[in-house]
Structure 1
Amino acid sequence: MQKLLAFPLTILYFIFFGLTLVVFHPIQWFCKNVFGYKAHKISVDWLQFFLMRCLNVLGTTFSFTNPYTIEKGIPLILVSNHQSMYDIPPLIWYLRKHHVKFISKKELGKGIPSVSYNLRHGGSVLIDRKDAVSSIEAIKNFAKRIEKNKWAAVIFPEGTRSRDGKPKPFKTKGLLTMIKHAPNALVVPITINNSWKTLRYGKFPMGLGANITFTVHKPLKANLFEDKLELISLVEAQVKSTIDA
């Protein structure tokens, strides 16, 4: 019965989702080109808010638990498991005061209204997964930009999404590069649960009633760890400690 109900609600969701992306694309362009970075960032933040409201059509709810006070003006490396594209709007919205940026595959940099524009012009980095050398160089420059501007970089070290919520082993190279070239960053482990349930039937119809939760774990100062692999192992253990799968 729930799957039958998912068909019309998914169609309604896609209509709202598409309209949101189309409406915010020129808004982003106008804010960026007329008023600059700050206005563009605000438009991107509110885009995420409305994308989350679109998901409410499917009965999706969000819970963000962060018991730690993280001051503004500190570079952050946000390390999280990855379950679906719907991980992204809440991370940007709930952590918006930290100017959240992403490492994304280059294919997302074109063809998607609002999303591609933000990835190209909002401070994130696009990498070619087939070219490891250029990808690491791009991540290195991205880390330096995060350090300089005191922004927050999200990295999903699993390398791909988990389609059933079960975590995959962390790949360390990109994260090591981030830590090395943003040495003053706080490394913030985050656990995401239930995002994969929005795609439990595949892309169509979408799953109903997912309660997507985000749990922020204790931030760690990267420069206090001489052995960066030890730091990554600790972060991986924290992220996976509260995964429900």
Structure 2
Amino acid sequence: MSKFFGYLLSPVFYFFFGLMLVIFHPIQWLCHRFFGYKAHKLSVDILNFFLTYCQLFLFNSISFKNSYNLPTDRPIIFAANHQSMYDIPALIWFLRKHHAKFISKIELTKGIPSISINLRLGGGANIDRKDNKQAIMEIIKLGRRMKDNNWSTVIFPEGTRAKDGKVKTFQFGGIATLLKSVPNALVVPVAIENSWKIVRFGMFPLSTGNAIKWTVLKPIESEGKTPNEITIEAENEIRKLLHQPLS
């Protein structure tokens, strides 16, 4: 039934999702050009509110749980498992007070309404996966911006999407590189559930009637721990919540 309704509802979802991207593309440019970072960020936050709740057109529910009073006066590295592209809008919206930035492929900085312009202007790191030196330098620059502005970063340590929902082994390179620039950063695991189900049939039809959940887990202080230890701890906390075998 999920697939059947997907054939009916996916066009509606894609229409409104695409419409939001087209509408907010010039809005972002105007906000950045004439009013600066704060106005641009506000436009991005509002865009991602609409992108997140476009899931309602598919009868997918949205749940974000955060039981922790996370600081806004120090950088945070949010380490999340990654299941689909639909993980990202909710993270931007629900973590908006933390100014969460992303590490993205440089190819995405061109050709995609709203998304490309945000990647170019939003303050994240756009890396060339074929140029390891460039990638490391971009992440270091992002770390410096985090330190200077008390911004945060969302990182997907798996390195790729888990299309079946099973958590892949976390790689510690990204967290280690960021911690070199912001050694006082708080590392916060975020568990994502059921986002993979949206695209389990592919891009069309999208799946319907799923309970999509984002859960903020207990923060990890980096002091006295190696990046490898921190990464393993974050991975295992996510695995526990998702009831998957520990690494």
Classify the TM-score, shorter chain: over 0.9
| Separation in structure 1 between the aligned mates of residue 71 and residue 101 of structure 2, nearest angstrom | 17
Instruction: Give the alignment's Cα RMSD to 1 decimal.
Output: 1.2
Equivalent residue number for residue 65 of structure 1: 65
Tell me the number of residue pairs that the alignment of Structure 1 and Structure 2 aligns.
Answer: 244
| 1:226 CA displacement | 4.1
Q: Is the CA contact 2:22–2:113 (under 8 Å) kept in the aligned structure 1?
A: yes
Letter matched to residue 197 of structure 1 = K
Counterpart secondary structure, 2:187:
strand
Equivalent residue number for residue 51 of structure 1: 51
Equivalent residue number for residue 189 of structure 1: 189
Letter matched to residue 242 of structure 2 = I
| Separation in structure 2 between the aligned mates of residue 214 and residue 2 of structure 1, nearest angstrom | 21
Following superposition of structure 1 onto structure 2, how do residues 201-220 of structure 1 map, counting pairs within 5 Å?
201-220=201-220
Equivalent residue number for residue 121 of structure 2: 121
| Separation in structure 2 between the aligned mates of residue 189 and residue 83 of structure 1, nearest angstrom | 15
Deviations 1:179-235 (A, max 9, x none): 12111111111110100010011110001012111111111222x124332222212
Equivalent residue number for residue 98 of structure 1: 98
Letter matched to residue 2 of structure 2 = Q
Equivalent residue number for residue 85 of structure 2: 85
Equivalent residue number for residue 237 of structure 1: 236
Q: Is the CA contact 1:24–1:114 (under 8 Å) kept in the aligned structure 2?
A: yes
Q: Is the CA contact 2:2–2:209 (under 8 Å) kept in the aligned structure 1?
A: no
| 1:69 CA displacement | 0.2
Q: Quick check: 1:225 aligned with 2:202? A: no
| 1:244 CA displacement | 5.0
| Gap regions ≥5 residues in structure 1 | none
Deviations 1:54-91 (A, max 9, x none): 22100111111111101212111000000001111111
Counterpart secondary structure, 1:208:
coil
Q: 1:171 to 1:228 in 2, by over 3 A?
A: closer
| Separation in structure 1 between the aligned mates of residue 190 and residue 2 of structure 2, nearest angstrom | 30
| 1:2 CA displacement | 3.1
Q: Is the CA contact 2:53–2:62 (under 8 Å) kept in the aligned structure 1?
A: no
| Separation in structure 2 between the aligned mates of residue 205 and residue 30 of structure 1, nearest angstrom | 35
How high is the sequence identity, in percent, across the aligned residues?
Answer: 50
With normalisation by structure 2, the TM-score equals 0.95
Q: Is the CA contact 1:225–1:231 (under 8 Å) kept in the aligned structure 2?
A: no
With normalisation by structure 1, the TM-score equals 0.96
Letter matched to residue 231 of structure 2 = I
Following superposition of structure 1 onto structure 2, how do residues 135-214 of structure 1 map, counting pairs within 5 Å?
135-214=135-214
Q: Is the CA contact 2:172–2:227 (under 8 Å) kept in the aligned structure 1?
A: no
| Separation in structure 1 between the aligned mates of residue 226 and residue 86 of structure 2, nearest angstrom | 33
Letter matched to residue 180 of structure 2 = K
Counterpart secondary structure, 1:85:
coil
Deviations 1:150-198 (A, max 9, x none): 0110100100000010011111112210112111111111110100010
Letter matched to residue 166 of structure 1 = K
| Gap regions ≥5 residues in structure 2 | none
Q: Is the CA contact 1:31–1:40 (under 8 Å) kept in the aligned structure 2?
A: yes
| Separation in structure 2 between the aligned mates of residue 240 and residue 140 of structure 1, nearest angstrom | 28
Q: 1:244 to 1:109 in 2, by over 3 A?
A: farther
| 1:21 CA displacement | 0.3
| Separation in structure 2 between the aligned mates of residue 51 and residue 87 of structure 1, nearest angstrom | 11
